[in-house]
Each structure stands twice: as C-alpha cells, then as structure tokens.
C-alpha cells in the first residue's frame, strides 16, 4: 500500500480531489490560512522558549527561522542573532 508521509494513498487521493474542487482562488486562500497558522505556531514556540524576548527579538528569531542566518545578518547587520 502506497503512502504519502503518514497519509494513505486513499486519503491522499481524497485530499487532492478536494483541492481540485476548491479551484485556484480556494487553494490560494487555504495556503494563506495555513501559512498564517504556521507563523502563529512558530511565534508561540519562540515566546514559550524565550519569555524574556521583547517583540523585536521575537521577530528577529522568527526571521532567523524563515530566512536563515546569512540573510538575517544582511538585512539587520547591526543586530545580534537571537535563538529561535
């Protein structure tokens, strides 16, 4: 039986069919909702691990997760890297 990660082939097929029925605009809207949920979850994790961080340090920690060290250093050269 073929699987896709932890999803069976039958479940994967049903999911793909649902995405097709959504149309392009529906898929884009779903993508934005999922992206926002992932961002909120990542930020909650940062706040949980580092309750001492102010909002700026939280944003820098998130940027480091998303962009990586090299780009964060280029964008904010005067800021120290903070642990996500």
pLDDT class of 1 with cuts at 50, 70, 90: low
Question: What global pTM score does this model have?
Answer: 0.76
Q: Where are the domains of the chain?
A: 3-75
Give the pair of three-digit tokens for residue 7. 């999803």
Q: Distance between CA atoms of 47 and 26, rounded to whole angstroms? A: 32
9-49 and 55-67 helices, crossing angle to 10°: 140
Helices (H) and strands (E) in the chain, counts: 3, 2
For 11-65, write each residue's pLDDT tens digit: 889 988 988 999 999 999 999 999 999 999 999 999 999 999 999 999 999 999 9
Residue 11's SS3 state is helix
Per the CB < 8 A criterion, the answer to whether 52 and 58 are in contact is no
């Amino acid at each position: 039986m073929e699987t896709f990660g932890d999803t069976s082939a039958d479940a994967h097929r049903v999911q793909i069919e649902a995405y097709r029925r959504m149309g392009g605009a529906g898929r884009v809207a779903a993508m934005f909702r999922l992206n926002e949920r992932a961002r909120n979850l990542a930020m909650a994790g940062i706040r949980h691990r580092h309750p001492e961080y102010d909002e700026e340090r939280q944003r820098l920690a998130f940027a480091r997760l998303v962009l990586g060290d090299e780009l964060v250093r280029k964008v904010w050269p005067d800021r120290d890297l903070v642990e996500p």
